[in-house]
Amino acid sequence: MITAFILIIIGLLAAAALVQLVRTGKVAATGSDSTAKAIHPVDLRAFRNLVDPEEEEFLRANLTAAQFRSLRRERLRTALEYISRAAQNAKILMRMGEAARLNPDASIAEAGEKLADSALHLRLYAFQATAKLYLAILVPGTNISPVRITENYERMTRLVVLLGCLRYPTNGVAAGL
Amino acid sequence: MNSLKLLWYYLWIAPHLLQAILALLMLRRKLHRQFPMFFLYTAFEVVQFLTLFLVVRFIDQQLTYEYYVVYVFGSVVSATLRFGIIHEIANQVFRNYAQVQKVRRTLFRWTTVLLLLTGVALAAGIQVTGNPKFGLVVAAILDRTVSLLQCGLLLCLFLFSSYLGLSWRSSTVGIALGLGVFASMELAIAAFRSHFVLYGDLYIDLITLGTYHVCVLIWMFYLLAPERSAQFALQTMPEHDLEAWNHELQRLLRRL
């Protein structure tokens, strides 16, 4: 009896979730304007510092165990926020890359494709890094090194600049974005 | 004939008429080449309806053996085709993203195994032997397991692509949404039936047929609406990133 009721509720919730995902644009058709279009700033130097093992060793050596654990948790939570922002930016830039991929100009289409690929990679790394960071928060001794995120974010940045230059050669990057 | 029975006939006939129109329009717009499995499913549903209609009208008016043989055979083929459609949707969505194909395959393989194990575990908890309605109970359990698999796979597909921020073609969104809503509601209805063994109940039939009607309307709306072209423009850029990105540009220019 309980199993039947649970499955009925799961079925109804799944139907509602599917409709909601489409309605809110989480699963969006090409050309949809429903996604957020604002890029959030990401300070890569600060992020690198937050996940730097040497920095962590320095703090461990100079703080009491309790202080270190508390500070480490705070630092990891902040790193999670950075990753979330980078992943959000990647989602937006992926749409931008996909739109550029359909451009009749071959160089713009190529740059768009590279940007979309890079942004997609970043989202995959962000997923892994988020899992690692949560694990590190829960299990204090875990080592984390989400370096790929910063490398990929920098690569994506370069591609956005390149795409901006190709699309708007006379007005600079800002106009292109 | 009372109004509920009239509604039952409407909900039985109308979606299949719409599907016949949809199949013809898909042929005319050459959409059957892009979605061959969905086209096959649509055409099969129409043929199955016509067969059942003729059986009811001329052979088995009391809805006994012949009707259920055709119905069960049709349901098995329909369920198989729906799995084919899910595979087709996944291929369409990930077609342009070669780098996530491996992740996608692993994710789907494990999701399928997990859902199948859940379905089997749930089925094992139901007393089947000695039940006078043995056939109906087994049918309901199979129906429930298939719905659980299809609903879970579609939800997994939606969530995975939503997380990655992949763009879908609007026709693919429509097919997936219609199928997902149908599978989810079927799961709820099959769970209800497997417990209360209510085949042939008018109200349950009305909910099932009504859900299917809504799904057919979703398919028609998305497949016949014109495909939007990709456009994108950023509205706001933070100063910080612009500076960093312009710096990158200067660095690149110095290299060239």
Question: A70 and A59 in contact (C-beta within 8 Å)?
Answer: no
Which of A99, B43, B153 has the alpha carbon at shortest distance from B35? Answer: B43
* Per-residue model confidence as pLDDT tens digits over B147-173: 999 999 999 999 988 888 887 888 889
A contact test, residue of B234, B254, B256 with most A CBs within 10 A: B234
The token duo for A13 is: 């919730």
State how far residue B148 is from chain A, nearest Cα, in angstroms: 8
Query: Which element (helix H / strand E) includes A123?
Result: helix A106-138
pLDDT value at position A77? Answer: 86
Separation of first and last alpha carbons in chain A? 57
Selected residue with higher pLDDT from B57 and B238: B57
> What's the average model confidence in pLDDT over A2-14?
87
* Per-residue model confidence as pLDDT tens digits over A100-158: 888 888 888 888 888 888 888 888 888 878 888 888 888 776 666 666 666 667 777 77
* Per-residue model confidence as pLDDT tens digits over B218-248: 999 998 887 665 555 555 555 555 566 555 5
Distance CA B69, CA B48 (A): 12
Contact at CB, B181 and A22, closer than 8 angstroms: no
Q: How many residues does chain B have?
A: 256
pLDDT value at position A36? Answer: 46
What angle (nearest 5°) sits at the alpha carbon of residue B105, between those of residues A17 and A128?
75
Residue A172 predicted with pLDDT over 50: no
State how far residue A118 is from chain B, nearest Cα, in angstroms: 10
Chain B residues in contact with A127 (beta carbon < 8 A): 163
Q: What is the ipTM of this complex?
A: 0.76
pLDDT value at position B244? Answer: 62
pLDDT-based confidence at residue B23 (cuts at 50, 70, 90): very high
Chain A residues in contact with B170 (beta carbon < 8 A): 29-31
B contact test, residue of A19, A39, A150, A163 with most B CBs within 10 A: A39
Count of Cβ atoms closer than 10 Å to residue B64 Cβ: 9
Closest CB to B167 among A44, A95, A117: A95
DSSP class of residue B55 equals I
The token duo for B122 is: 């749930």
Contact at CB, B187 and A40, closer than 8 angstroms: no
Distance CA A3, CA B184 (A): 16
What angle (nearest 5°) sits at the alpha carbon of residue B23, between those of residues B19 and B29?
135
pLDDT value at position A78? Answer: 86
Residues 6+ apart with CB under 8 A from B186: A11, B143, B147, B150, B151, B208, B211
pLDDT value at position A92? Answer: 81
Q: Is A11 an 8 Å CB contact of chain B?
A: yes
Report CA torsion sign: A110, A115, A116, A121. Answer: positive
The token duo for B140 is: 């309901």
Count of Cβ atoms closer than 10 Å to residue A98 Cβ: 23
Q: Domain residues of chain B, as ranges?
A: 3-231
Question: B193 and A7 in contact (C-beta within 8 Å)?
Answer: no
Residues 6+ apart with CB under 8 A from B209: B8, B11, B12, B15
Count of Cβ atoms closer than 10 Å to residue B241 Cβ: 18
Distance CA A129, CA A144 (A): 8
Strands B167-168 and A28-29: parallel
Contact at CB, A165 and B194, closer than 8 angstroms: no
Q: How many CA atoms lie within 13 A of B86 on its CB side?
A: 25
Q: Is B37 an 8 Å CB contact of chain A?
A: no
Distance CA B43, CA B256 (A): 58
